[in-house]
């Protein structure tokens, strides 16, 4: 088995069988737990928060932590804990929309890139690399300037900027799957190319895409926070972790804890999704780690 | 001929009504691959995997192709299966040309020719259940009654029909190869192309799969094209053997004749190099036996034998 | 002196002596109660299918088992005054590549892809102090390349592993393994990935290389014919156990264990019945150490019965014997 038929493709070292690494690693469990807490918090915020997160109480400005205000209040007297809960909603919402957009557009695009004729595939790849080099924040700021800054423009911009990432991962996975003998078998069975893409490529790169999604989710949360911090994302009075951080920044000398809480929330979310991504990667395919 | 199956007369295939002509006529077949460019303006150099191969496979034949790595045997099989485009030459399948045809115009080939590959783990999609794996050719070709056929095929290859609900990794290597064979035979092809189908299997399982293949070839009146690096396996399975080297055919002939009285030095070298139990037990000590094999293989290219191959083939 | 006792073999003390070797994860036993010895100049074959534990046995001897595997038992090497399994990593790595060395199936993974061939060989000589200076080691490396019949050793010496063919790489591996004149050479399927013509040459080099140094050879393969060609004596492994041992001729012509017999029959592609069928062993090797209790072969054995639910124990001597309640020679079934 050493004839040169795979000259154009990476070696036939293909996506993992479901039996590899059956157990969930520790990092995936820790990551999933952190994210679980955040999701739970966000859901609870719909029906209950300790205080109205938007209620301005002049009498209760910049209070420290107490049994009444668990994480204290901000300079308008709004309850920080309640705002953090509602901020989780914003963060997850942005993540879900941005990553879904990127994944739903980027993955099929990547599969197409992988299955296209060689020259077209190369052209796609180079274009994609160009887009990949374009910073998401810059795109979002441009969007904000044109369409007005809002949570919506931020997440659309983040999503669009993330498309090339998914396209690239999907393309490299597709190339591996295409060089496998089971695709050869499917071709000899008479399967058409769309059927091969749907039946063989998609299920086998699914793991890769999910791993990428969890990593991209972390980046999206961070990007939203950064945009809000810069004023190009979520607009007041809606709470967002990045926004809260920005508001706390001016008062860092007076009330340092105001900056710590949203900072911790952002860090926890990013850590959680990255840990989950690592764990999923180990489970789905350890060998594809460095293939992109 | 020791094997009674070799002499059985072949009943004309009722489905196609064709028997008279050869199944495959291959003429001047070439296949080359571009190498990375070495100079900016010159065209990129090409390596020939097949350099002008011509032969015929007749209906009911069990046609063996033997060669070492880099001989082009797998490339040839893929060309026969319409999975790899030839660079030049012609392959006529039951009189119809397949070289130069687009993949979706090869429906006639897909209905009649199926493949079995070397590594049964790699050739079965790990994320598909056995049912869907075996059904795949039926679905792809719009054959009705797929479910009943799946059970029938699993039974034919000696698997419990309950296996249909499981995934490939839940089976041993031999069982996986049975699944691959069931898939290949599901559309009732008249030709089976097998690429090293027992090379990845344990010795005790190899015999089972070889027996199964022999039975199925007889039962379904298949024409078999069997590729292997192992001359002793090909000799067991096939009635005709073609020896390939460096993309060309060295020698062809009836299996027993080729094994007992090889005409070409390279074939003699191949035969001499195969270690067999009988040879090992024929009295000579191990060192002498090995030296014998090497000496017969020697002469024109002993130490240089593996040097001649492109290093990239040596996998 | 706690050195290995001198064992009674025709050629004096054994080079390798393995007693009661067990290898397992915490849960499963993968190699059980394996005992054998290899004398100087002796070539012993270890035969088995996938899952038989033959490679694990070799890795345990070399001290190269993966972290999650544990070996126990007693492994001794001539001229080494301590037991190998309990020795520290420093002591074991001092032996590897020096007193004992190993050739693997896939040379590409065993060679450093970023190092020229000459340096890889010279390194082994320098590490173990066989040569003291770089220049001397480099010269010796080229001699070793010539000794494994590589044409133009000067040129090969300057190449990287990926620039060599499979056969050439395997020769380089052998040159490295033989560099320091080991007492014990272990070859694990050294020719399985090679073409037959290259295989024949490689086998000759292994046999000659061992003979020149009067070293002991432990040759692991799934291929009976290759083992029969290379070895004097054979150990047959199945399910983590040695089920039969004996001289090559005797074991191949008069096997005692039904597994050996089945393997022999299945290997001989020239012996077919009237229908053109090869004799087979029923079923397949159970995956992942899930062999039956008692005799590991009983679920595939034509002779198995309730007595086989207990392990039969060893009949005969360590050099020639079997573990079976109903050996082929006996009148049963």
Lowest mean pLDDT among A36-45, A143-152, A282-291, B247-256: A282-291
pLDDT at position C331, please? 59
Pick the CATH number of A65-288 from 3.40.50.720, 3.30.200.20, 3.30.70.560, 1.10.3720.10: 1.10.3720.10
Given pLDDT bands bounded at 50, 70 and 90, which one contains residue A1? very low
> Which pLDDT score, from 0 to 100, does residue A110 have?
93
Helix axes A151-178, A80-115, angle to 10 degrees: 40
pLDDT of residue A292: 31
Selected residue with higher pLDDT from B187 and B307: B187
With CA atoms as reference, the chain A residue closest to B194 would be A185
Nearest CA in chain B to C253: B281
- Tokens 């004996």 map to which residue? C246
Of residues C281 and B40, more confidence is placed in C281
Q: CA B24, CA B240: separation in Å to the nearest integer? A: 14
Residues 6+ apart with CB under 8 A from A20: A285, A286
CB contact under 8 A, C279 and B210: no
**For C1-41, what is each residue's pLDDT tens digit?**
333 344 444 445 889 999 999 998 877 889 999 999 999 98
In contact, C176 and C150? CB cutoff 8 Å: no
The Cα C45–Cα C218 span in angstroms is: 6
Range with lowest mean pLDDT among B12-16, B194-198, B206-210, C80-84: B12-16
Q: What is the pLDDT of residue B16?
A: 43
- Identify the band that residue A125 occupies on the pLDDT scale cut at 50, 70 and 90: confident
Phi, psi of B136 (to 5 degrees): -50, -50
Nearest-CA residue of chain B relative to C106?
B315
- Partners of residue A13 in chain B, C-beta under 8 Å: none
- Distance CA(B279)–CA(B291), nearest Å, equals 13
**CB B227, CB B262: distance < 8 Å:** no
Find the range with the poorest average confidence among B6-10, B36-40, B105-109: B6-10
pLDDT (tens digit per residue) in A232-264: 877 777 788 878 877 777 777 777 777 888 888
Cα four-point dihedral sign C4, C10, C15, C19: negative
At B300, the pLDDT band (50, 70, 90 cuts) reads very low
CA proximity to B112, closest of B24, B214, B31: B24
* φ and ψ at residue C73, rounded to 5 degrees: 130, -155
For residue C289, the model assigns a pLDDT of 65
- Which residue of chain B is at minimal alpha-carbon distance from C261? B204
Return the HEC string of chain A.
Answer: CCCHHHCCCCCCCCCCCCCCCCCCCHHHHHHHHHHHHHHHHHHHHHHCCCCCCCCCCHHHCCCCCCCCCCCCECCCCCEHHHHHHHHHHHHHHHHHHHHHHHHHHHHHHHHHHHHCCHHHHHHHHHHHHHHHCCCHHHHHHHHHHHHCCCHHHHHHHHHHHHHHHHHHHHHHHHHHHHCCHHHHHHHHHCCCHHHHHHHHHHHHHHHHHHHHHHHHHHHHHHHHHHHHHHCCCCCCCCCCHHHHHHHHHCCCCCCCHHHHHHHHHHHHHHHHHHHHHHHHHHHHCHHHCCCC
Which residue in B has a C-alpha nearest to residue C259's C-alpha? B204
User: What distance in Å separates residue C91's CA from the closest CA in chain B?
Assistant: 34
What does pLDDT average to in each consecutive run of 10 residues of chain C (333 residues)?
Answer: 42 84 87 93 91 91 89 91 88 89 84 89 88 89 90 89 88 91 92 82 88 92 89 93 93 92 87 81 76 89 89 90 88 53
> How much is the average pLDDT of A186-194?
90
A19–B contact, CB cutoff 8 A: yes
Give how far A28 is from chain B: nearest CA, Å. Answer: 22
Query: CB pairs below 8 Å between B and C: how many?
Result: 179
User: Looking at the complex, does the CB of residue A188 fall below 8 Å from at least one CB of chain B?
Assistant: yes
What was the pLDDT predicted at A119?
85
Q: Which one of B49, B117, B123 has the shortest CB-CB distance to A4?
A: B49
Please determine, for residue B282, whether its predicted confidence score (pLDDT) is greater than 60.
Answer: yes
* Average pLDDT over chain B, rounded to an integer: 83
pLDDT band at B221 (very low <50, low <70, confident <90, very high): very high
- Residue A189 distance to chain B (closest CA, Å): 4
Section B150-158 average pLDDT:
93
Residue B14 predicted with pLDDT over 70 = no
Using the predicted structure, report yes or no on whether residue B11 has a pLDDT greater than 50: no
Look at residue A11 in the predicted model and tell me its pLDDT.
28
Residues of B in contact with A184 (CB under 8 A): 78, 83, 115, 117, 123
Question: Chain B residue closest to C300 (CA)?
Answer: B204
Q: Please name every residue paired with C234 in a beta bridge, in sequence order, or none if there are none.
A: C45, C246
Cα C321 to Cα B295: distance, rounded to the nearest angstrom: 35
Q: State the first-to-last Cα distance of chain B, in angstroms, to the nearest integer.
A: 36
A23 pLDDT tier (thresholds 50, 70, 90) = low
Contact predicate A197/A28, CB 8 Å: no
Provide the pLDDT for residue C37: 93
- Whether B265 shows a pLDDT value over 60: the answer reads yes
Q: Residue B249 — pLDDT band, cuts 50, 70, 90?
A: very high
Please tell me the distance in Å from B245's CA to the nearest CA on chain C. Answer: 12
Chosen for mutation from C197, C248, C268 (greatest number of chain B CBs closer than 10 Å) is C197
Please tell me the predicted confidence (pLDDT) of residue B196: 92
Q: State the SS3 of C11-28.
A: CCCCCEEEEEEEEECCCC
**Nearest CB to B294: which of C162, C201, C275?**
C201
Q: Give C150's contacts in chain B (Cβ within 8 Å).
A: 303
3-state SS class at C109: helix
Cis status, amide bond into C287, omega within 30 of 0:
no
> Above 90 in pLDDT, residue B130?
yes
Q: Averaged over A129-141, what is the pLDDT?
A: 83
DSSP assignment letter at C58 = H
For A194, the token pair is: 């769309």
Domain boundaries, chain A: 65-288
**pLDDT in the model for residue B215:** 93
Write out chain A residues lying below 8 Å of B130, CB-based.
Answer: none
- Closest partner residue to A12 (CB to CB) among B81, B110, B122 is B122
pLDDT surpasses 80 at A58: no
C285: nearest CA in chain B?
B172
What rounded mean pLDDT belongs to chain A? 79
Rounded average pLDDT over B272-287: 72
The residue of chain C with its CA nearest to that of B230 is C196
Q: Neighbours of C (≥3 Cβ pairs closer than 8 A)?
A: B
Give the pLDDT confidence score for residue B255 in this predicted structure. 93
Nearest CA in chain A to B199: A1
Chain B: give the shortest CA distance to residue A279, in Å: 20
DSSP single-letter state for residue C309: G
pTM of model > 0.95: no
Buried b (16+ CB within 10 A) or exposed e, B39-67: eeeeeeeebbbbbebebbbbbbbbbbbbb
A2 CB neighbours in chain B (<8 A) are 69-70, 74, 313-315
> Between chain A and chain B, how many beta carbons pairs sit less than 8 Å apart?
118
Chain B interface includes A187 (CB < 8 A): yes
Reported ipTM exceeds the 0.95 cut: no
Task: Name the minimum distance, in Å, from the CA of B27 to any CA of chain C.
Answer: 28
Bridge partners, C34 (sequence order): C21
- Contact state of A4 with B115 under an 8 Å Cβ cutoff: no
Task: Give tens-digit pLDDT for A94-112.
Answer: 889 999 999 999 999 999 9
Burial tier of C36 (Cβ tally within 10 Å: 0-12, 13-18, 19+)? buried
**Would you state the pLDDT for residue B288?**
59
Q: What is the 3-state secondary structure (H, E, C) of C215-283?
A: CEEEEEECCHHHHHHHCCEEEEEECCEEEEEEEHHHHHHCCCCHHHHHHHHHHCCCCCCCCCCCCCCCC
What is the rounded CA–CA span in Å between residue B71 and residue B89? Answer: 18
Q: Which residues pair with B172 in a beta bridge?
A: none
Q: What pLDDT is recorded for position B216? A: 94
Query: What is the distance in angstroms between the Cα of B143 and the nearest Cα belonging to chain C?
Result: 33
Kindly state whether A199 is in contact with chain B, defined as any CB-CB distance less than 8 angstroms.
yes
Q: Which of B275, B282, B301 to mutate to test the interface with C (most CBs of C within 10 A)?
A: B275
- Residue A200: list chain B partners with CB under 8 A: 125, 128
Instruction: Set out the domains of chain B in order of their start, with CATH numbers.
Output: 4-37+46-255 (3.40.50.300)
The confidence score (pLDDT) of residue B3 equals 44
Chain B residues in contact with A189 by the CB 8 A cut-off are 110, 114, 136-137, 140-141, 183, 187
Domains and CATH numbers, chain C: 37-55+186-333 (3.40.50.300), 109-181 (no CATH)
Q: Residue B273: what pLDDT? A: 79
Confidence of residue A134 (pLDDT cuts 50, 70, 90): confident
Is the backbone of residue B52 left (phi > 0), alpha (psi -120 to 50) or beta? left
């Amino acid at each position: 088995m050493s004839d040169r038929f795979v000259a154009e493709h990476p070696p036939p070292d293909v996506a993992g069988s479901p039996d590899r690494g059956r157990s969930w690693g520790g990092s995936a469990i820790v990551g999933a737990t952190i994210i679980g807490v955040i999701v739970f918090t966000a859901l609870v915020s719909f029906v209950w928060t300790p205080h109205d997160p938007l209620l301005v109480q002049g009498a209760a400005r910049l209070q420290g932590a107490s049994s009444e205000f668990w994480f204290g209040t901000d300079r308008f007297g709004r309850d920080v804990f309640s705002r953090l809960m509602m901020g989780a909603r914003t963060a997850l919402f942005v993540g879900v929309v941005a990553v879904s957009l990127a994944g739903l557009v980027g993955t099929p695009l990547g599969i197409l890139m992988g299955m296209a004729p060689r020259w077209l595939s190369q052209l796609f790849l180079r274009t994609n690399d160009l887009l990949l080099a374009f910073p998401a924040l810059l795109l979002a700021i441009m969007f904000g300037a044109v369409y007005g800054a809002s949570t919506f423009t931020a997440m659309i911009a983040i999503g669009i900027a993330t498309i090339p990432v998914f396209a690239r991962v999907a393309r490299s996975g597709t190339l591996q799957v295409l060089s496998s003998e089971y695709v050869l078998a499917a071709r000899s069975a008479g399967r058409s190319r769309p059927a091969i893409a749907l039946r063989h490529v998609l299920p086998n790169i699914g793991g890769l895409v999910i791993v990428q999604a969890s990593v991209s989710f972390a980046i999206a949360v961070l990007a939203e926070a950064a945009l809000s911090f810069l004023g190009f994302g979520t607009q007041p009075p809606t709470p967002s972790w990045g926004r809260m951080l920005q508001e706390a920044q001016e008062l860092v000398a007076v009330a340092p804890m105001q900056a710590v809480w949203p900072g911790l929330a952002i860090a926890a979310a990013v850590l959680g999704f990255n840990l989950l991504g690592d764990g999923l990667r180990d489970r789905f395919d350890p060998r594809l780690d460095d293939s992109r | 001929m020791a094997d009674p199956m070799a002499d059985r007369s072949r009943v004309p295939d009722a489905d196609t009504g064709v028997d008279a002509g050869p199944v495959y006529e291959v003429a001047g077949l070439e296949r080359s691959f571009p190498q990375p460019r070495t100079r900016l303006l010159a065209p990129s150099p090409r390596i020939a995997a097949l350099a002008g191969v011509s032969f015929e496979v007749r209906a009911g034949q069990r046609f063996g192709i033997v060669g070492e790595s880099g001989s082009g045997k797998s490339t040839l099989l893929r060309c026969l299966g319409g999975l790899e485009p030839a660079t030049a030459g012609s392959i006529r399948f039951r009189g119809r040309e397949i070289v130069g045809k687009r993949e979706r115009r090869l429906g006639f080939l897909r209905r009649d020719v199926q493949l079995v590959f070397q590594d049964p783990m790699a050739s079965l999609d790990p994320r598909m259940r056995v049912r869907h794996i075996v059904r795949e050719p039926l679905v792809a070709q719009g054959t009705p009654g797929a479910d009943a056929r799946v059970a029938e095929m699993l039974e034919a290859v000696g698997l419990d029909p309950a296996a249909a609900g499981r995934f490939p990794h839940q089976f041993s290597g031999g069982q996986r190869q049975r699944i691959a064979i069931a898939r290949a035979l599901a559309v009732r092809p008249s030709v089976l192309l097998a690429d090293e189908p027992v090379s990845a299997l344990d010795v005790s399982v190899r015999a089972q799969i070889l027996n199964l293949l022999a039975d199925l070839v007889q039962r379904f009146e298949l024409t078999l094209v069997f590729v292997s690096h192992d001359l002793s396996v090909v000799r067991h399975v096939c009635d005709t053997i073609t020896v390939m080297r460096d993309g060309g055919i060295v020698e062809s002939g009836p299996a027993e004749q080729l094994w007992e009285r090889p005409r070409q030095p390279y074939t003699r070298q191949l035969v001499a190099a195969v270690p067999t139990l009988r040879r090992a037990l024929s009295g000579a000590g191990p060192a002498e036996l090995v030296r014998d094999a090497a000496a017969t293989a020697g002469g024109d290219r002993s130490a240089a034998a593996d040097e001649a191959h492109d290093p990239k083939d040596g996998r | 002196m706690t050195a290995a006792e001198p064992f009674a073999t025709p050629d004096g003390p054994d080079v390798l002596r393995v007693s009661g070797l067990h290898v397992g994860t915490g849960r499963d036993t993968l190699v059980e109660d394996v005992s054998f010895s290899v004398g100087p100049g002796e070539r012993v074959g270890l035969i088995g299918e996938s899952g038989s534990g033959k490679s694990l046995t070799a890795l345990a001897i070399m001290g190269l088992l993966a972290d999650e595997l544990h070996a126990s038992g007693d492994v001794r090497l001539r001229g080494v005054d301590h037991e190998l399994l309990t020795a520290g990593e420093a002591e074991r790595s001092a032996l590897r590549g020096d007193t004992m060395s190993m050739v693997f199936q896939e040379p590409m993974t065993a060679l450093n892809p970023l190092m020229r061939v000459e340096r890889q060989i010279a390194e082994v000589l320098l590490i173990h102090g066989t040569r003291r200076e770089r220049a001397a080691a480099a010269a010796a490396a080229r001699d070793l390349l010539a000794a494994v019949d590589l044409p133009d050793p000067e040129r090969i010496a300057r190449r990287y592993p990926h620039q060599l063919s499979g056969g050439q790489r395997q020769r380089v591996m052998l040159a490295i393994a033989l560099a320091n004149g080991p007492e014990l050479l272990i070859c694990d399927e050294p020719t399985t990935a090679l073409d037959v013509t290259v295989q024949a040459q490689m086998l000759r080099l292994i046999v000659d290389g061992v003979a020149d140094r009067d070293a002991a050879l432990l040759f692991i393969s799934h291929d009976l014919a290759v083992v029969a060609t290379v070895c004097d004596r054979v150990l047959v492994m199945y399910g983590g156990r040695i089920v039969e041992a004996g001289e090559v001729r005797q074991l191949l012509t008069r096997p005692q264990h039904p597994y050996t017999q089945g393997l022999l029959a299945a290997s001989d592609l020239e012996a077919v019945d009237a229908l053109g069928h090869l004799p087979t062993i029923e079923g397949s090797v159970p995956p992942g150490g899930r062999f039956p209790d008692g005799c590991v072969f009983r679920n595939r054995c034509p002779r198995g019965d309730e007595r086989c639910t207990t392990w039969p124990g060893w009949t005969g001597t360590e050099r020639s014997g079997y573990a079976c309640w109903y050996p082929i020679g006996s009148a049963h079934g």
